[in-house]
Chain A
Amino acid sequence: EVQLLESGGGLVQPGGSLRLSCAASGFTFSSYALNWVRQAPGKGLEWVSAISGSGGSTYYADSVKGRFTISRDNSKNTLYLQMNSLRAEDTAVYYCARRQTVVVVAATYYYFDYWGQGTLVTVSS
């Protein structure tokens, strides 16, 4: 059974740092790209960052570029999100999500097939 379990959330002051973790099980970890998606209280979903299976390619939303760093340890089956220079607007539940890729004759499909339960990050003084 595929499982994604986030941890590391909590209360942090503006300008502070936090590192989130996402422990994965039930699949070949290094074969999948992974993502972080956040949801501010009462708001919609916002994609934050993505990393390839090898960790060699990373992508960021403009809202976090230069402040957040995504990484992974394939020997530990764990995804990370290092968050620096945190702002009040970073307050959200942070989800990790696995990207599935399906290649058929005429198309390649991308979607998030498994999600963790989320971890809450609150940025406040």
Chain B
Amino acid sequence: EIVLTQSPGTLSLSPGERATLSCRASQSISSSYLAWYQQKPGQAPRLLIYGASSRATGIPDRFSGSGSGTDFTLTISRLEPEDFAVYYCQQYGSSITFGQGTRLEIK
């Protein structure tokens, strides 16, 4: 099973700042199988990024994804109040696994 490790566990930033979230895989995965989701309290996850770097429909361009192999990054260029949430990476390889999540909180 491929394990995804996200860091940091919690990120405290202010609106307007830049957020960088990391997702590291225990073995190399295809970039086309790496996705990012946002989840707010009491809500279902929402797709942000697929294929490591492609934004889903309706996702603002302040969200961007990058990476390959075992290291992937979600960047939010300028935080808006509605961006404070939990973020998960997911891989769709031989099985399907999620990272443990990064909580993005208001500083």
On A, residues with C-beta under 8 Å from B are 35, 37, 44-47, 50, 59, 61, 95, 100, 102, 107-113, 115-118
Contacts and interface: CB of A to CB of B under 8 A. Distances in A.
Interface residues of B, number: 26
B30 A116 contact: no
Contacts of B47: 111-113
B70 to A, nearest CB: 18
What are the 10 A-B residue pairs with the smallest beta carbon separation, nearest first?
Answer: A111-B50, A115-B44, A107-B32, A47-B96, A110-B92, A111-B35, A45-B98, A109-B51, A44-B101, A109-B32
Contacts of A112: 35, 37, 45, 47, 90
Given A95-B44, A111-B47, A113-B56, A44 B100 contact: yes
Given A109-B51, A116-B44, A47 B95 contact: yes
B98 A110 contact: no
Interface string B21-59: 000000000111101010100011111001100101000
A100 B56 CA distance: 11
Contacts of A47: 95-98
B88 interface: yes
Contacts of A102: 50-51
B54 to A, nearest CB: 8
28 contacts: A37-B45, A44-B98, A45-B45, A45-B98, A47-B95, A47-B98, A50-B96, A95-B45, A107-B31, A107-B32, A109-B32, A109-B33, A109-B50, A110-B32, A110-B92, A111-B35, A111-B47, A111-B56, A111-B90, A111-B92, A112-B35, A112-B37, A112-B45, A112-B47, A113-B47, A113-B56, A115-B44, A117-B43
A112 B92 CA distance: 10
A116 B43 CA distance: 9
